[in-house]
Structure 1
Amino acid sequence: MRMPRGWWRSKSTPAKIELYTRWSYHFFAVFEIVLFGLPVLARVPLRFSGWLFAALCGHALLTTATASRAVDWTRGRREQPLRIMWTLGAVTAVFAAATLLVTKAQPADSDYLGALGSLATGAMGVGIGTVTLGMRRKRWMAALVVGFAAGCLTLALMLHAAPDDAVMAAFALMLFPGFMVFAAIFSVWILNAVYELDEARETRARLAVAEERLRFGRDLHDVIGRNLAVIALKSELAVQLARRERPEAVEQMIEVQRIAQESQREVRDVVRGYREADLGVELTGAQGVLNAAGIACEVRGETAGLPTEVQSALGWVVREATTNVLRHGDAGRCEVGIRVLEGRVVLTVENDGAESEETENEGAEDVGTENDGSQNGEASDGPPESRGSGLAGLRERLAAVDGTLEAGRVRKGVFRVVAEVPLAANEVTA
């Protein structure tokens, strides 16, 4: 059971709906054989029941192939299967006509006329419903149903059936096919709507990423824009002073060097994310992004009064955890909680849909474990800007304020990130 469940959970929601729609029409073929074909074998004389049942099985197989190709056409994977749709329509008409001919050849008091009538109705319903699965215009669908009913009425009158009986039979033959046409319309509408919603969710996620990139660009401009302007002005002044052989030119270039080094440090801080982040802003932004992506997000707790260093460190935990929820798994809900307990702040981010994200998160957990040495104050290889990101980067940020981070599955399908930061060094302000 583990492999089928894993195969099913690995599929996206639109893929699941498509698979459900496709196999629903495959089961309609089984439904057609069991509900309408078996009574014919049991009640109709053998000289008719054998070939009628065989023809019905062939008709069911043809409806299965038509439904599969029609669903592919609905999703734009192939051209409209007009040839097989015409074939199914013609086979359905011939089969219904043959069944009516067999019905007419039987005595009026035969006890198996009802089975033959149900056989014709069932074949028409499944056949017409499958054909309309590959159509878009509702007028053509309605014309198909009315056309089959009119054909049955004409054939019944040609076989000298009573007009009242012929009209009632034609009306009855419109009910089940009409229901199947409605089912086809509704199935295609649901399938397309789910795919469109999924595309809209991806678009919103991409827009959120683009907005974050714009924010980063603005931060980078704010950091180095003014400094570059100052560097340009002081360099121009130093050139003019040097041409006049003034000693102040050296002082100006020293100032340029200082500003350049400061700019380098500030850019490094932006890239590494050590600029102060407001926890309240990050929580609001995370809730907005997750809700826009179709993930119900609930935020509990207050951030007012927390020290700046604590808010900055926990703000980056919220941002990284939100990114993981968006990128990994198939979450439907996310809960974020802030609590102040016994001199420490506890941030909890918990989301469902963690089956598919388990491997990547566990991989990030392993990366963080490897970096424990640098977090405890030991020397690390390379400068700070060369260290990793993700959960390992969060541990580094939290280590700067003596905080800790735990991440992993807490129960089936649920992933939780818990960050704790002590308040001993910085008391909560009023």
Structure 2
Amino acid sequence: MRGPGGWWHRKSTPAKFETYTRWSFHFLAAVEVPSIGLPAFGALGAALGTLLLGLTAVHATVSMVTVSQGLDWTRGRRPQPVRLLWTLAAVTAAAGLTALLVARSEPDSDRLASATGMVFGIVVVVGAGISALGMRGGRRIAALVAGYGLTSCALAFALGVPWFAALITGGGVLVGGGFIAFTAFFSIWLLDAVYALDEARETRARLAVAEERLRFGRDLHDVMGRNLAVVALKSELAVQLARRGRPEAVEQMVEVQRIARETQREVRDVVRGYREADLGVELAGARGVLAAAGITCEVRGEPSGLPDQVQSALGWVVREATTNVLRHGNAGRCAVRLETREGRVVLTVENDGAGDVRGSGGSGLAGLRERLAEVGGTLEAGPADGDLFRLVAEVPLAVQEVPA
């Protein structure tokens, strides 16, 4: 999909959730500058206001970097950002201490106290909460938030803040930082769960393919193993008879030829059964598999009465389209329509996961085009209206195989 929103639609569901999580915490850090930095600049004047605004901007920048590296660490893309966590703690302490010292310089100014108090509270709360993105374990995160709260209380009391106000300051940091830290902890847990579910869906698709291959292998083993054992025995008997000059050796080799031809026929039957797909079975299977994956699937049309070759060709289309929706798309809804138009059977598969534009040129769809071309059919696939991805296959009712 082209356009300003195409990059978003190309993302998988886990990637979208990860992007949303990053943006949420980046916004939480970036909002420090307009919410507390600029008001402090307006309230304190050029010198002190510029100092607090600069510290707030530095703290917001370090916080956003911590968000990025912390989330990368949780996904296993980089080592734990230990040094960055200490840097964030140091910048948080510097900004908070500076705010308290500025407030102490003019203790009778309510405007100054309000501005510096906002800087101190929000900087420390955001610092404590975002630090949780770089840590694992509920106890460690709880200890981190408690440490920020106790340090804030002790620092405020040491700089002359009344003990009751210092306790309120520490309690506010504990509650606010704890809330953001819990949000970070829950967001990481939910992100891991989304990725795990996506991997499970991929694994289920691979297991289905592997199970079909095993079934095919068992069928071939049953045919080839039995018949080859008979061929070996009869060939050995023919060799013994030939060495003795017995005419029965010819009869045994004739029987070997018969068994070999019978084996060829049975192998062709197995391969033909493997390659042919029943359209009704494939439609029912697609509905069940997509529903199990949380994708609403609506099927319209009745395949009964269609020629076997038409059902086989379109059955493979349904199978490949379902695989693409499960593995590549990001769909929440899928619609399958089967109808007859002017002597041609038309199968349309639409889903709202048009993010994977690669599907129109993949090897699976290329193979389907070749298969449909053998029976005079066509296949078109690509993005449609809005965020839809549409696949349309047409096969003539009177199938005539196209010579190679």
Give the C-alpha shift of residue 196 in structure 1.
1.3
State the distance in 1 between where 2:220 and 2:258 align. 19
Give the C-alpha shift of residue 163 in structure 1.
3.2
| AA matched with 1:297 | C
Relative to structure 1, the CA distance from residue 274 to residue 342 in structure 2 (aligned partners, 3 Å threshold; closer, same or farther) is farther
State the distance in 2 between where 1:359 and 1:199 align. 19
- Which deviates more, 413-422 or 299-308? 299-308
State the distance in 1 between where 2:65 and 2:116 align. 25
Q: For residue 414 of structure 1, what is the aligned residue in structure 2?
A: 389
Note the residue ranges of structure 1 that are not aligned, 5 or more in a row: 368-388, 426-430
Q: For residue 180 of structure 1, what is the aligned residue in structure 2?
A: 180
Give the C-alpha shift of residue 9 in structure 1.
3.4
TM-score by length of 1: 0.79
Give the C-alpha shift of residue 118 in structure 1.
0.8
Give the C-alpha shift of residue 291 in structure 1.
4.4
1:407 match: secondary structure: strand
Bigger relative contact order (CA 8 A; separation at least 6): 2
Give the C-alpha shift of residue 272 in structure 1.
6.5
- Which deviates more, 27-36 or 258-267? 258-267
Instruction: Write the deviation string for residues 296-325 of structure 1: whole angstroms up to 9, x where unpaired.
Output: 434444455656555444433433433444
1:415 match: secondary structure: strand
Give the C-alpha shift of residue 294 in structure 1.
5.2
Contact 1:93/1:148 (<8 A) preserved: no
Give the C-alpha shift of residue 24 in structure 1.
3.0
Instruction: Write the deviation string for residues 122-162 of structure 1: whole angstroms up to 9, x where unpaired.
Output: 11122111211101122222222222222232233334433
1:418 match: secondary structure: strand
| AA matched with 1:92 | T
Give the C-alpha shift of residue 57 in structure 1.
1.6
Task: Let me know the Cα RMSD of the aligned residues.
Answer: 3.4
Which one of 384, 390, 415 corresponds to residue 368 of structure 2?
390
Give the C-alpha shift of residue 277 in structure 1.
4.0
| AA matched with 1:416 | L
Q: For residue 14 of structure 2, what is the aligned residue in structure 1?
A: 14
Relative to structure 1, the CA distance from residue 14 to residue 274 in structure 2 (aligned partners, 3 Å threshold; closer, same or farther) is closer
State the distance in 2 between where 1:265 and 1:258 align. 11
State the distance in 2 between where 1:135 and 1:239 align. 76
State the distance in 1 between where 2:257 and 2:138 align. 74
Map 1:12-411 to 2 at 5 A.
Answer: 12-264=12-264, 266-268=266-268, 270-271=270-271, 276-292=276-292, 295-303=295-303, 308-326=308-326, 328-339=328-339, 346-357=346-357, 360-361=360-361, 389-396=367-374, 398-399=375-376, 404-409=377-382, 411=384
State the distance in 1 between where 2:184 and 2:164 align. 31
State the distance in 2 between where 1:405 and 1:3 align. 29
| AA matched with 1:113 | A
Relative to structure 1, the CA distance from residue 173 to residue 20 in structure 2 (aligned partners, 3 Å threshold; closer, same or farther) is same
Relative to structure 1, the CA distance from residue 350 to residue 230 in structure 2 (aligned partners, 3 Å threshold; closer, same or farther) is farther
Contact 1:205/1:292 (<8 A) preserved: no
State the distance in 2 between where 1:34 and 1:350 align. 45
Relative to structure 1, the CA distance from residue 111 to residue 325 in structure 2 (aligned partners, 3 Å threshold; closer, same or farther) is closer
Contact 1:100/1:117 (<8 A) preserved: yes
